[in-house]
């Protein structure tokens, strides 16, 4: 260590690894507030917390893992304790919270009270190319019900997502849960004669581009294929014209609740799976209504696809309707901040037995960033501690006693512990966003007083956010008060009775 | 996936990787309570939260990392995106929260308000052999002040640790912070002529065994060496007899505050570094006193060493005095649940400039386990949600409305969403530790009533923890009440006014 400090060449660079970031108070305050609020909603619905390890055996994760010497595509993986021949099990960091839940449920199935309802939050890792706002580690918060095939279990998950968004601070009317069912599209394709898995996937991918390409572009992708502006050709799903029109008619049904279900019945009817999907959505509609979730909170939207192949029934997506403007002044919609659906095959990977399951995952980091950008975050008001200025080194004990008194009253407070003078100490307090600085020098000690400098006021004045005269009348900026009134004086600055 | 489910052979095992565990509600309730309480203490002292990534570049972690092709000793590491020649930077999961802080401080030093005070919590990973109660992933919670050389910064860290333990639920008098200073031992060794780093380390290691071997064993280890019961020989530090006796006289000074400092002055005096260490401890003593931390909370104890080599001044250790009995009925002390100290060289690894720093780390998982074993955990009282029994499938909407009403009153509640009959539903409610089940069947719907079964009572009676007759008089086990009184009836069972 001391050796390393000797020469420049041997010193490591101080930087976060590519695609990873440090997060400071402001980011964390938002994220923790969201996690606390959403967890409280989940617990009120009877979901219990579960924490699984960061690592899983790579074969348990399944997805993303090709048959390769080093299964490191998409996930961060390493070989645990390889022997002399290089043999040893591969472990990988979890890339979501669903795969570990499936492993946990399979491992403990016999002893769990069923249906098993759990929520979980924590970081997940993706070994992908990072980009702006796209990191290789981020926080998710999930709730899942394992062991219930009832559509009401889906409805409950949707209701929790709606309530969770409100609890997280999204204003009423600024978010919507969109619901669809894989069974509807599957039924539609069955009546159109599509049974090949690859073709089904191509149809799902085509529909997923509706927002971007519009019906005409999607029509090409459902048929033979589409050439984009650059001239690049994307092979289509190969549906005939009649089948493609049926799919487009399906996706053209607008988002809504009872009315949408009625129209879907008209375009879908005929296949057993489609009818089953419709019955599921009808049951979800009834349960949502009795849970108090109306069309302003959750709607059926036939254009919602959701990428993951493992969904087998209802799929959900949470869309944030809040907008913001980017650095170029263009208005930006945040779009999806979470999603989920019914997956009935994940546990079967381990046990061979199909277990019905449904769940939802919040992208917490993304939601926090969206709320912050939209100015809806509580942390905008974040304040640092009251700083007790060190005027006289011989009086440290007294300064500590002052800070202790403030803390006992519930006020965050600290004694300045650097070596700088008064001016630098005031600057420090300002940079910490301290509401106030306490100054007790020779005069104050002699008179049994303390001087309080209102730093909130200083910042407000410098930003021009307030009427100087009115503020100055109420808050004189700096006052000297009897020592016994110090805590109450700070309380006035904090707008709280201490 | 469906393919995988077809044959046994291709199915992955559902198990956690070696040395990793799943944690369910009971473990997490304790841990979260501790983290929330300790974080609140840190924030009241003016420390801001910081979250660094799970990964650091391996060279930034330093410790544990030999010059090897695969730097995987002690840490979990992997190569990021290696090129065709296998070149690419190594990343490693953090093994503590201090090394990432040093990296962060070095990276942002110019723009930080200094001294920089941050707290952090989260998992850390050790690539070590797991054992009973010893895992490869566990949670730490740290607070550090970077950029203050003042002994008062150490005192503040100690005071926060004392207050943090109380806030975490450790009863008064059941924990003690033990303080020592590396400077004292260094000074002592300097006057004894020890200047070789290896020899110094051997002395520290010998003193660290005082608890286990007693003064006679340590005397051997300070001198030529010691043969243990098995005949294995440990080479000693090679001190001469006089020097060894001085070290032993130092460690024999009992734990205390002012009195201990007085005695240490007698055995230590003479070297500049020893005197400096003594002056530090005296300043720490004064600051602790003004922070209201007396000898029942923190003492000086010359036998405390702390393993990590990077400490350069004061060292602290939090010892839990709570005991428990193990499965064989033997009484067990938990011992250390955290520690820290002053380290002035960590940031210099990156910048070449010495930056004074001091901090403390709680072993949160360990503390939670200790409190649980000692019966001091709040979670012993954990209760599940009220379960609304599904008596009539056609009435799901009504059951959801009941659950919604309870949730609106702040009561965790759920509708049973499995497919089983009444008996299995009651068993489910019992396994979830539900306080009550709500039964609304044909009769109740007709009469506008609800039947409430008190499951807390059932569990209490079956455990014989209460006087049957008295409980039965107050809580009749099962009552049928008007629908409008349902929430209030549940409230009585929960002992809260709803």
Q: Model confidence over A10-52: pLDDT tens digits? A: 788 999 999 999 999 888 988 999 999 999 999 999 999 999 9
- The arithmetic mean of pLDDT across residues A435-458, rounded, is 93
Instruction: Supply A273's token pair.
Output: 């799976």
- The arithmetic mean of pLDDT across residues A281-293, rounded, is 94
**Cβ-based contacts of B358 with chain A (< 8 Å):** none
Q: pLDDT higher for A192 or B288?
A: B288
Q: pLDDT higher for B306 or A381?
A: B306
| Residue B55 near chain A (CB below 8 Å) | yes
**Cβ-based contacts of A49 with chain B (< 8 Å):** 24-25, 28-29
Instruction: Supply B466's token pair.
Output: 């209460």
| Closest-CA residue of chain B to A405 | B291
- The arithmetic mean of pLDDT across residues B421-433, rounded, is 93
Q: Which helix (H) or strand (E) holds B98?
A: helix B98-108
pLDDT tops 90 at residue A149: yes
| Residue A463 near chain B (CB below 8 Å) | no
| Residue B350 near chain A (CB below 8 Å) | yes
pLDDT tops 70 at residue B109: yes
A12, A23, A286 ranked by CB distance to B397: nearest: A286
**Cβ-based contacts of A401 with chain B (< 8 Å):** 290
Q: Which pTM does this prediction carry?
A: 0.89
B17, B80, B416 ranked by CB distance to A17: nearest: B80
| Closest-CA residue of chain B to A348 | B5
Report the b/e string of B157-193 with b at 16+ CB within 10 A.
bbbbbbbbbebbbbeeebbbbbbbbbbbbbbbbbbbe
Q: pLDDT higher for A384 or B120?
A: B120
Closest CA to A368 of A21, A55, A18: A21
- The arithmetic mean of pLDDT across residues B15-38, rounded, is 93
pLDDT at B6: 44
pLDDT at B110: 93
Q: Are B78 and A76 inside 8 Å of each other by CB?
A: yes
Q: pLDDT higher for A465 or B434?
A: B434
pLDDT, tens only, A69-84:
455 568 999 888 888 8
Lowest model confidence (mean pLDDT) among A214-228, A452-466, B433-447? A452-466
**Cβ-based contacts of B14 with chain A (< 8 Å):** 60, 103-104, 106-107, 350-351
| Residue A290 near chain B (CB below 8 Å) | yes
Closest CA to B350 of B62, B20, B126, B127: B62
**Cβ-based contacts of A93 with chain B (< 8 Å):** 54
| Residue B126 near chain A (CB below 8 Å) | no
Which residue stretches of B146-290 are H helix? 151-167, 182-191, 197-208, 210-222, 241-252, 258-268, 272-290
Closest chain B C-alpha to A229 CA, distance in angstroms: 32
| Closest-CA residue of chain A to B40 | A412
B30, B185, B187, B286 from B273: Cα distances, Å = 43, 9, 5, 20
Closest chain A C-alpha to B24 CA, distance in angstroms: 5
A310, A404, A412 ranked by CB distance to B43: nearest: A412
| Residue B79 near chain A (CB below 8 Å) | no
- The arithmetic mean of pLDDT across residues A373-377, rounded, is 72
Q: How many CB pairs below 8 Å do chains A and B form together? A: 302
pLDDT tops 70 at residue A290: yes
- The arithmetic mean of pLDDT across residues A88-113, rounded, is 94
pLDDT tops 60 at residue B475: no
**Cβ-based contacts of A46 with chain B (< 8 Å):** 384-385, 387, 412-414, 432
pLDDT tops 50 at residue A427: yes
| Residue A2 near chain B (CB below 8 Å) | yes
Closest chain B C-alpha to A153 CA, distance in angstroms: 7
Q: Are B290 and A396 inside 8 Å of each other by CB?
A: yes
pLDDT at B333: 76
**Cβ-based contacts of B4 with chain A (< 8 Å):** 62, 349
**Cβ-based contacts of B76 with chain A (< 8 Å):** 55, 78
State the Cα–Cα distance between residues A154 and A341, nearest whole angstrom.
Answer: 7
pLDDT tops 70 at residue A136: yes
| Residue B288 near chain A (CB below 8 Å) | no
Q: Are B14 and A60 inside 8 Å of each other by CB?
A: yes
Long-range CB contacts for residues A61-65, cutoff 8 Å, separation at least 24: A61/A92, A61/A94, A61/A95, A61/A99, A62/A99, A62/A349, A62/B1, A62/B4, A62/B12, A63/A95, A63/A99, A64/A95, A65/A92
B156, B309, B352 ranked by CB distance to A5: nearest: B352
Which domains are assigned to chain B? Answer: 25-54+94-192+240-378 (3.30.930.10), 383-493 (3.40.50.800)
State the Cα–Cα distance between residues B445 and B8, nearest whole angstrom.
Answer: 49
Q: Are B11 and A428 inside 8 Å of each other by CB?
A: no
pLDDT at B310: 81
- Whose tokens are 């930087």? That residue is A15
B54, B91, B286 ranked by CB distance to A397: nearest: B286
Q: What is the largest CA-CA distance in chain A?
A: 94
**Cβ-based contacts of B51 with chain A (< 8 Å):** 22-24, 27-28
B1, B24, B103 ranked by CB distance to A50: nearest: B24
**Cβ-based contacts of B397 with chain A (< 8 Å):** 286-287, 289-290
Q: Are B46 and A384 inside 8 Å of each other by CB?
A: yes
Closest CA to A403 of B258, B159, B170: B159
B199, B219, B304 from B226: Cα distances, Å = 16, 9, 21
Residues 92-111 of A with CB under 8 A from B: 93, 103-104, 106-107
| Residue B413 near chain A (CB below 8 Å) | yes
The model's confidence at residue A55, banded by pLDDT at 50, 70 and 90, is very high
Report yes or no: A97 and A142 within 8 Å, Cβ to Cβ: yes
């Amino acid at each position: 260590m001391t050796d390393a400090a000797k020469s420049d060449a041997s010193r490591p660079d101080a930087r976060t690894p590519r695609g990873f970031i440090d997060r400071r108070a402001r980011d964390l305050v938002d994220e923790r507030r969201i996690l606390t609020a959403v967890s409280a909603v989940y617990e009120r619905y009877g979901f219990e917390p579960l924490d699984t390890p960061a690592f899983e055996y790579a074969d348990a994760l399944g997805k993303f893992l090709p048959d390769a010497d080093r299964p490191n595509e998409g996930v961060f993986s390493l070989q645990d304790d390889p022997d002399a021949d290089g043999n040893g099990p591969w472990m990988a960091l979890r890339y979501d919270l669903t795969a570990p839940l499936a492993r946990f449920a399979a491992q403990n199935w016999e002893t769990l009270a069923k249906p098993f309802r759990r929520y979980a939050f924590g970081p997940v890792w993706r070994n992908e190319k990072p980009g702006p706002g796209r990191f290789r580690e981020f926080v998710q918060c999930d709730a899942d019900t394992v062991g219930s095939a009832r559509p009401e279990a889906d409805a409950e998950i949707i209701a929790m997502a709606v309530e969770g968004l409100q609890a997280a601070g999204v204003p009423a009317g600024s978010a919507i849960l969109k619901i669809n069912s894989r069974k509807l599209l599957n039924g539609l394709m069955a009546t159109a004669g599509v049974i090949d898995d690859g073709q089904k996937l191509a149809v799902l991918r085509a529909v997923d581009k509706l927002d971007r390409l519009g019906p005409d572009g999607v029509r090409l992708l459902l048929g033979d294929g589409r050439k984009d502006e650059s001239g690049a050709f994307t092979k289509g799903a190969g549906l005939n014209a009649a089948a493609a029109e049926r799919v487009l008619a399906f996706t053209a049904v607008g988002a809504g609740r009872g009315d949408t279900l009625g129209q879907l019945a008209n375009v879908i009817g005929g296949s057993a799976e489609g009818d089953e999907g419709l019955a599921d959505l009808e049951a979800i509609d009834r349960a949502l209504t009795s849970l108090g979730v109306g069309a302003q909170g959750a709607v059926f939207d036939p254009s919602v696809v959701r990428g993951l192949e493992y969904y087998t029934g209802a799929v959900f997506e949470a869309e944030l309707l809040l907008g913001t403007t980017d650095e170029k002044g263009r208005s930006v919609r945040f779009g999806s901040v979470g999603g989920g659906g019914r997956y009935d095959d994940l546990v079967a990977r381990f046990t061979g037995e199909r277990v019905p399951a449904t769940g939802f995952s919040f992208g917490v980091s993304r939601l926090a960033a969206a709320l912050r950008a939209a100015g809806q975050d509580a942390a905008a008001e974040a304040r640092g501690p009251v700083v007790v200025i060190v005027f006289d080194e011989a009086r440290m004990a007294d300064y500590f006693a002052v800070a202790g008194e403030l803390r006992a009253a519930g006020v965050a407070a600290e004694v300045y512990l650097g070596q700088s003078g008064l001016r630098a100490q005031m600057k420090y307090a300002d940079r910490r966003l301290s509401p106030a600085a306490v100054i007790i020098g020779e005069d104050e000690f002699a008179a049994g007083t303390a001087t309080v400098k209102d730093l909130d006021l200083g910042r407000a004045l410098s930003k021009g956010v307030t009427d100087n005269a009115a503020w100055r009348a109420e808050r004189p900026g700096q006052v000297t008060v009897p020592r016994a009134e110090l805590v109450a004086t700070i309380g006035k600055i904090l707008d709280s009775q201490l």
